Structure 1
Amino acid sequence: MTTENDRPIAAGVTVGHVHLKVADLERALGFYCGVLGFQLMQRYGTQAAFVSAGGYHHHIGLNTWESAHGSPPPRGSTGLYHLALLYPTRADLADALLRLQRGGVELDGAADHGVSEALYLRDPDGNGVELYWDRPRDEWPLDDAGQLAMYTRALDLRGLLAELRAED
């Protein structure tokens, strides 16, 4: 069935922000600002806060309006799988890995997808978080027909951290 709504979304559309329900606002701010390095832009008392990278009004909203002292949704339920934070360079992703290690945050996984390298983890409320950087488009893997050929391989975390030493 074809309708007038079958046309694609405008090419310039981007995801502006994500808003997460959290159980403890201070704990969430400790992770997003303290570990990942986001900047607190605005706060609404003890119930909500808005954090940003680079001074934007907010990339992530955190609130306890419906979730104060709550528990994460059980596995097997619908909801957010993960939010993905795109870092501009491989060195910036390496810095994020170092921040996670220093903050005692365990990774759920780390993968090289050919088009990108990614770190997977959970925030203190169990929300999935992906931290990644995209390789330049001209380095993306293609199959014999010239089609995108993404894959999943283990990411060399030591090699990623070496990116920081290479910048010195």
Structure 2
Amino acid sequence: MASTSNPAAILRPSNLAVVVLRTPNMQKMLDFYSKFLGASVPFQNEHYACLRFDSLHHRLALIAVPPASNPAENSTPSTGLHHIGFSYPALSSLMEAYKYRKQNGGVLPFKCVNHGLVVSLYYRDPDANELEMQWGRFTDVDKADQYLMSEEFTKIGMGNELDPEELLAEIERGS
């Protein structure tokens, strides 16, 4: 059955940004996807790796997770999809879509993070799949690479939580 909502009413993302996979086999998966996609690895540490095979800083990422001793007892799957990311061309567009979702159905993110490289609002679909709606700071891949290797990125780790209402208010004030 088709949805009765108007898909043109919400500001749509500009493209699919990233697919993130969980794995207890980080190096094996990294080797596989690097070779399979002909991808470079602009960033890697023991917890996270970014892979680039086109003009985006990373289109595929891997998150290291411990193997599950009993997957039924583990609320977070040990392997598989972590989240799907969609991009917006401007921070104001990302926040306009946030405002629309909130006002039309009360759909709110469960987590909002400034990762330094991107500002991300994380949602869950009805099956609990995670969706990252994001705006990227860098349009230049070389500058994104420099940032990934910077002390600033190292210091923030996976990022700092942010309040979407405060960010929306700043944007609406013209900040």
Q: TM-score, normalised by structure 1?
A: 0.50
Q: TM-score, normalised by structure 2?
A: 0.48
Larger Rg belongs to: 1
